[in-house]
Amino acid sequence: MQLGRNGSTLLHNLQNLFSGNHVNAGDVVPTSELTEQYLSTAFVVWSFAHEVSTSSLHGNAAIANGHFGYRTGDYQNHVRHLCEQAVRNRDIRGPFMQRIDSARSDSLRWSSTTQPVHDFGSCSVFRQCTPCGGSGRVSCGGCSGHGRRTCSGCGGSGSHNQVVTRTRWNGRNNETYSANVRRSCSSCGGCGRVVCTGCGGSGKQTCRACSGHGFFTDISNVRSVATPWWHVPPHSGLASEALVSALKRRGAETARDLVPFDLASTAYNKNDNWVVRYTGIADVVELGLDVAKTPYAVAAVGAAVIPIKTPPIFDQLLRDELKDVAAILGSGKDGRGNIRRQAKRLFAIFQSVPVLDKALRSVAKLSKDSRSNPAPVVVRVAEGFISAEAASTFGTVFLHTLDKVSPAYSRAAWVAVTVLPTLAAFISAANNFLRFSPAHPWQAVLPLLFGVGFAGAAMLLVSPVGWALSATVSSLLRLKVPAEYRQRGRNWAPLKTACLVTMSASFTGALFGAAGAMNWAPPITIATIPIASYAVAHTSQESGVNRFFLKFLPLRPADAVLAAQSPLDTRREVQRFLIAHGYLRGQADGTLGTRTNAAILKYERHERLSASTPMPALLAHMKADIASSSAQIEPDGQLTPANKMETGPKPAGIARPGALQNIAANNPVPVPKPTYSAVSVPCSQDGTYFGSNVCSNVLLSSTYQREQQAYKAAQSRLGHVDNGVRIEQERWMDTVTRSCRDAQCLTAAFEKRATDLDSRYRGR
């Protein structure tokens, strides 16, 4: 069939486009040709408006020949008048119109953006600063303008309480006790107020709003601008509807690629808009084609023979690939996972089809923002000869295939980095919320928020490791494919998901811990005992890992008692042990002086302990030492040779067994004899072991009643004056009942507390 010049060019272009995509050039056969030339018209409607830009500067920045002082009303009226001139004054539009007229057809390039018409210049006005009232200085917030503020050291009283340790004779020996004395505050000299550091005592500060100037300069710039609107009216002729759609889609800037437009006339419409009319001859050709024995009609226009009527030919040519992809996406709920599992096979199929191969390369180079909609890229590669549905399907499959064969980041690397923070967040939250009380649920809100936020911060802290590992792994994986298929790295993309997973683990751990506190689920400490025991046994005692896992092991009764002791009581217990064993001389006052530290160091060397052993751990070791020594005392009061204090050379001043017995005789520790009378302590549903079992365990109830008797006796000896013993008792009781989870731990703690109260307040 003999074709014209445009028809031959269009046929040649289509044969090159479709060839290799399951058809050859010979399978694209022309069946008919239609050509027509007709006038095409388009309009650019320019509407005029004002554009005001404002700014405020500190101090004086007045505009010459346009300043209104403090006359705000005149300034606003002037700006309003300029805005009206920008919209309605036709005289100022002359230069703009002349520029459009002289440019002729090239003016279409300016018809896609707003163009400036006239600049009226700037004007200014002064505005007084409201916070300072124009003075430039404001009252100091720290002292409320007085120049002096309340002393933070004493709270304004001029003095403060200080606890001092004193010694007195109780008729048998010297004993130490604590007393409150009133000391004059050294910060304010006893007056209760100090000079404000914020204002230096003046009571005034520079106004931050105006930087001390007291006023602002408001500047306004008014311009007249023209905004274009591209309008293509309906045409009549060959493929006129397709031509109008193509012109609207391309816009004024690229419309001349289809039709050689030139400026024809200009005029004002009834809305005072300036209308510019462009006309040109549209040279349209339409071919009837048989592609793989299927008829189609394709229309093109212009010297470059650009298709404007594009039927979805590729939907027929790629029907096998579309069916394959549709089957993968439709097989089960996880279509994305199915594509990834067959990514290598699909990648090979796409490479064998020229149009799909070109589209795959284009999708691989998309930016992060463009990946959300890859369909336009596929349509552009297919030059419009594909439906929107098919383009969207191929675009989605291309993305998932590339993420597998040419990953932009490594999921495995981020999972490996996220596992440790996630487990730590879950276990830590579950362990902390074992103390949750249903009676005070609102007290858990702040710890919950802190735990979740800390988990997210921990993930952010380790995120550079995830990025580095992901970048390394993904770069190595991308080397397996040619360079044109390699995606750009997006190694920070999984960070948001990783943070959400870690924070969710912390929240879930808090719920699990609260459930364990209410006996709805087993405590996390039970599940982590094997792991914690292994970690503690295979790490150094001084390491942070050892201390972290140590708190997940169950407390022994003695350790629970030590945990409930105050630091002062712990130091006194250590000093008593050192005095009893000859390492130290003097009174057990709880003060760690030079002699006490030297004695502790000497004991640690003798016992081969670390010099950094915490005080509670040291006391626990000493009590274990006492228990082993007591077990080796024979009936006649002598220690067996197996006692480690008797084996080997003794340090100077070490007490003999007889001395130990004398010390024990002078400091008797009464051991309560449990009575098995009727239990009078009721149970309570507070979520603790103590509250649930005190009414049914006779031994636990008796030791608790004895401790309460010792507490009441101490209060009686003090004359029922509240000097801190009540608060100390409440805190101690809350700590013990929530940390001890068996009867042995609780009875040991109650016995120790009763003995301590008796020894402390016996002489009062």
Integer Cα distance of 480 and 482 in angstroms: 7
Residue 300's pLDDT is 95
Q: With a cut of 80, say whether residue 641 has pLDDT above it.
A: no
Tell me the two tokens of residue 167. Answer: 């010694």
Q: How confident is the model at residue 644 (pLDDT cuts 50, 70, 90)?
A: very low
Residue 642's pLDDT is 35
Amino acid at 282: A
* 666-688 mean pLDDT: 53
Q: Which range among 468-472, 601-605, 620-624 has the greatest average pLDDT? A: 468-472
**Torsion sign over Cα 183, 184, 185, 187:** negative
Q: With a cut of 50, say whether residue 671 has pLDDT above it.
A: no
Q: With a cut of 90, say whether residue 452 has pLDDT above it.
A: yes
Q: How many CB atoms lie within 10 A of CB 169?
A: 9
- Cβ 657 vs Cβ 637: under 8 Å: yes
Question: So where are the chain's domains?
Answer: 5-57+72-119+228-306, 137-206, 313-405, 411-521, 570-606, 689-761
Amino acid at 108: L
- Cβ 738 vs Cβ 431: under 8 Å: no
Residues composing the chain = 764
DSSP letter, residue 120 = E
Q: How confident is the model at residue 79 (pLDDT cuts 50, 70, 90)?
A: very high
- Cβ 485 vs Cβ 403: under 8 Å: no
Residues 6+ apart with CB under 8 A from 297: 286, 287, 288, 289, 309, 311
* 732-743 mean pLDDT: 79
Please indicate whether residue 647 or residue 363 has the higher confidence score (pLDDT). 363
Q: How confident is the model at residue 685 (pLDDT cuts 50, 70, 90)?
A: low
DSSP letter, residue 184 = E
* 232-242 mean pLDDT: 94
Residue 708's pLDDT is 86
Residue 618's pLDDT is 80
Q: How confident is the model at residue 707 (pLDDT cuts 50, 70, 90)?
A: confident
Q: With a cut of 80, say whether residue 485 has pLDDT above it.
A: yes
Residue 563's pLDDT is 53
* 323-347 mean pLDDT: 81
Please indicate whether residue 584 or residue 460 has the higher confidence score (pLDDT). 460
Q: With a cut of 80, say whether residue 657 has pLDDT above it.
A: no
Q: How confident is the model at residue 645 (pLDDT cuts 50, 70, 90)?
A: very low
Q: With a cut of 60, say whether residue 35 has pLDDT above it.
A: yes
Residue 541's pLDDT is 65
Where is 570: in which H helix or E strand?
helix 567-580
* 3-state SS string for 248-311: HHHCCCCHHHCCCCEEEEEEECCCCCEEEEEEEEEEEEEEEEEECCEEEEEEEECCCCEEEECC
| Radius of gyration of the chain from its Cα atoms, rounded to whole angstroms | 45
Q: How confident is the model at residue 751 (pLDDT cuts 50, 70, 90)?
A: confident
Q: With a cut of 90, say whether residue 473 has pLDDT above it.
A: yes
pTM of the model: 0.60
Tell me the two tokens of residue 473. Answer: 């792994």
Q: With a cut of 70, say whether residue 143 has pLDDT above it.
A: yes
* 89-109 mean pLDDT: 93
Integer Cα distance of 176 and 486 in angstroms: 79
DSSP letter, residue 641 = T
Residue 374's pLDDT is 93
Q: With a cut of 80, say whether residue 29 has pLDDT above it.
A: yes
Residue 559's pLDDT is 52
In the block, tokens 């030492």 appear at 625
Q: To the nearest 10°, report the CA torsion of 262, 268, 270, 271.
A: 90
Please indicate whether residue 242 or residue 565 has the higher confidence score (pLDDT). 242
* 374-390 mean pLDDT: 94
Q: How confident is the model at residue 698 (pLDDT cuts 50, 70, 90)?
A: confident
* 282-290 mean pLDDT: 94
Where does residue 84 rank: exposed (0-12), middle (13-18), buried (19+ CB within 10 A)?
exposed
Amino acid at 371: R
126 three-class SS: strand
* 156-179 mean pLDDT: 80
* 650-660 mean pLDDT: 36
Q: How confident is the model at residue 593 (pLDDT cuts 50, 70, 90)?
A: confident
Q: How confident is the model at residue 663 (pLDDT cuts 50, 70, 90)?
A: very low
Residue 339's pLDDT is 85
State the Cα angle at 653 between 652 and 659, rounded to 5°: 140
**Coarse DSSP helix, strand, coil percentages of the chain, rounded to the nearest 5 percent:** 50, 20, 35
Residue 668's pLDDT is 43
Percent of the chain with pLDDT over 70: 86
Residue 402's pLDDT is 92
pLDDT in tens, 413-436: 999 999 999 999 998 898 888 777
* 602-623 mean pLDDT: 77
- Cβ 78 vs Cβ 68: under 8 Å: yes
Q: How confident is the model at residue 520 (pLDDT cuts 50, 70, 90)?
A: confident
Residue 646's pLDDT is 38
Residue 666's pLDDT is 42
Q: With a cut of 50, say whether residue 655 has pLDDT above it.
A: no
Percent of the chain with pLDDT over 90: 47
Q: How confident is the model at residue 722 (pLDDT cuts 50, 70, 90)?
A: low
Average pLDDT, the chain: 83
Residue 256's pLDDT is 93
The lowest-confidence range among 222-231, 538-547, 659-668 is: 659-668
Q: How confident is the model at residue 667 (pLDDT cuts 50, 70, 90)?
A: very low
Q: How confident is the model at residue 188 (pLDDT cuts 50, 70, 90)?
A: confident
484 three-class SS: helix
Integer Cα distance of 471 and 262 in angstroms: 54
- Cβ 414 vs Cβ 494: under 8 Å: yes
The lowest-confidence range among 63-67, 77-81, 757-761 is: 757-761
pLDDT in tens, 558-582: 455 555 566 778 888 888 888 877 7
- Residue 626 forms beta bridges with which residues? none
Where does residue 744 rank: exposed (0-12), middle (13-18), buried (19+ CB within 10 A)?
middle
* 297-318 mean pLDDT: 94
